[in-house]
Amino acid sequence: MGDEVQQWTIKRPGRGGAFDDYSVQGLQYESTNGEIAWHITAWGDRNPVSSYWVAREKFYGMSIHFGYNTRGDNRIEISGEIENVPAAEKNAILKTIVEWEKPLQVETK
């Protein structure tokens, strides 16, 4: 994740679920150059709510500015890599992303 400005669009609508004692919600984004990333919000029973930008299994700080210009566009600012994500939370989030990225299985009769 460099300092370049990229356009990101939502690729998959919001997902949510419980994985390894964590509640996880996320939106999958795709950049104009095809990069995939997730905006993830996660929390455990005794943990505060955390928000991350997750790309290539790395966690980054992030903030979203909704309607930041006259067109009503949203601006996503991605900051430095967060290396001290608790192991249990990190594992739950990565397992969640793997599960969400699997193709949907549709039964046919």
Sequential pLDDT tens for the chain (109 residues)? 555 567 788 888 788 888 888 999 999 998 888 899 999 999 988 778 999 999 999 999 998 877 667 766 677 888 899 999 999 999 999 999 998 888 766 777 7
Q: Cα angle vertex 30, ends 83, 96, to 5°?
A: 55
Question: Which are the contacts of 18, defined by CB distance < 8 A and separation ≥ 6?
Answer: 24
pTM: 0.81
pLDDT tens readout for residues 62-90: 988 776 677 666 778 888 999 999 999 99
